[in-house]
Amino acid sequence: MPVLVLILIFSAMFAMWWYWWRPLPRAPATYPGALPIIGHIVEGIKYRNDIWGYMERIADYLITDECVQLRMGPHIIYVVSDPDEVDIIANTCLKKSFFYKFLIDVLGNGLLISDVPTWKIHRKLLNPAFNLHVLNTFLNVMNVEARNLVSRLKPIAGQGPVNIKEFLIKYILRSVCRTSLGLEAKDQDMIDKEYAQAIDEIITMAVKRGLNVALHPSFIYNRTAMRKREQEIVTSIKNVLNSIIQKRKSDIKSSSSVYSRNGKFKPILDLLLHLSDEQYVLSDDEIKTHLNTFVAASYDTTSSILQIVLLVIGSYPDVQEQVYKEIIEVFGDNEELTKYDLPKLVYLEAVIKEVLRLYSIVPWISREIDTDMVFPKYTLRAGSTCVLVLYNLHRHPSWGPDAKQFKPERWLNPATLPTNPNVYAPFGIGKRNCIGKQYAMMTLKTSVAHIIRNFQLSADISDFNWKYKVILKPAKPILVTFTLRS
């Protein structure tokens, strides 16, 4: 009897190996460190507290081999870094990978993780809310909020290094509330620090679940304390969004809002409500889903990028001086930047682009391979997951021998930039790129211009490091010293 049991166990293990681990024709090389059947799960556990460190190792390995495969139990994960292949995959395979499903309860079927048919319809409906003409109407509010940020920073000027995270999160949340949600100044704190903390906590849970294969099945995860806490947070977030939606509906109905009266400023929430009330194409749940995606993505990404931009500018005095001179020239005696001023901030834009290239907070994106992808050196099989390494694109040899150096001047001469557009993708790549990239750039340019106009920054980027929380975030507080300019 024991012999029969052993034979059955061995047969089952062999069947599993044959099904999951059988050699596939033209398969990419397997990344070193895989164990039979379980693959790289042990490495995943080993690096669970340093996910970014592990992915950096894989990215460095890809310098000599442009595609490898990881094995996580039954999951085959291809990791690709060739610019042209990344572009083809991103535009052919539009379905997000199973990793994103761990955020489904909080972000729902929004643009970030929605199924492909829904994404195609909703992206087309929402594109008008992010065109440049509409975004230019936000500029007055952006100027007001940037000046308010400067006012909050003045009391800490001259007091030595300061952790800037909380200042910037509050600033970005207020800006989003005023522009995207149409809230007036007295209501702009309806989404506050507690909302930001809730989003942070739920994203941390998603990362932990993603790293623990045992929690991938819903029937197991739904019985955990983590799932119970996740549901509490989701309920809290939905209650906040419900209040905002009802308030905005009331403001529009009573025409008490300045945004409704002047007819020039159309917040994104107004477009969503119009699509719901007039065209009957969005449900209340879908409106909440899109709002949550916009607010969470805007605050989380933009505040993180802004921290890095200020850290970099404070670490390079020569760069800061050149940025300051340009800002003074463009501002003149005016208090605000206009839509005609922003394009004139050429060097500042170069600095921001170089920060986005070298310190991109989105190091990779992942897709589900829904059809066999045949490339010259290998074939990626349908049903697998593919990670597209944007981090490597930004360090591709076509950037030159100084690809790993911070050199904003490279953006001032288009003739010296890489000819392949796929090697720069800070807002994603392909059709499912970030819908809010112009909004983010406008926010960054406006806020940095106001800050550098008023303060001289001092910082040290030499010991900067990342941690992974769906996007990359500073591993420790970013400290910046502010000195008021005369």
Annotated binding site: 434
The phi and psi torsions of 236 (rounded to 5 degrees) equal: -60, -45
Q: Which residues are annotated as a binding site for heme?
A: 434
CA distance 404 to 56: 14
Give yes or no for a contact between 44 and 211, defined as CB atoms under 8 angstroms apart.
yes
Nearest 5 degrees, angle CA 112-CA 396-CA 78? 50
16 alpha-carbon distance from chain centroid: 37
Q: What is the CA radius of gyration of the chain?
A: 24
CA distance 466 to 394: 16
SS (H, E, C) 325-342: HHHHHHHCCCCCCCCCCH
Give yes or no for a contact between 102 and 209, defined as CB atoms under 8 angstroms apart.
yes
Of 189, 195, 196, 199, nearest to 145 (Cα)? 189
184-222 burial, b if ≥16 CB within 10 A, otherwise e? eeebbebbeeebbebbeebbebbbebbbbbebbeeeebe
Paired residues of 458 in beta bridges:
481
217 alpha-carbon distance from chain centroid: 26
SS3 127: helix
Of 56, 109, 65, 106, nearest to 85 (Cα)? 65
Residue type present at position 105: D
Paired residues of 70 in beta bridges:
77
Helix H or strand E encompassing 371: none
Of 283, 256, 276, nearest to 183 (Cα)? 256
Locus of tokens 């502010």: 482
Start-to-end CA distance of the chain, whole Å, equals 89
Residue 411 CB: number of other CB atoms within 10 A?
Answer: 19
Nearest 5 degrees, angle CA 445-CA 409-CA 80? 85
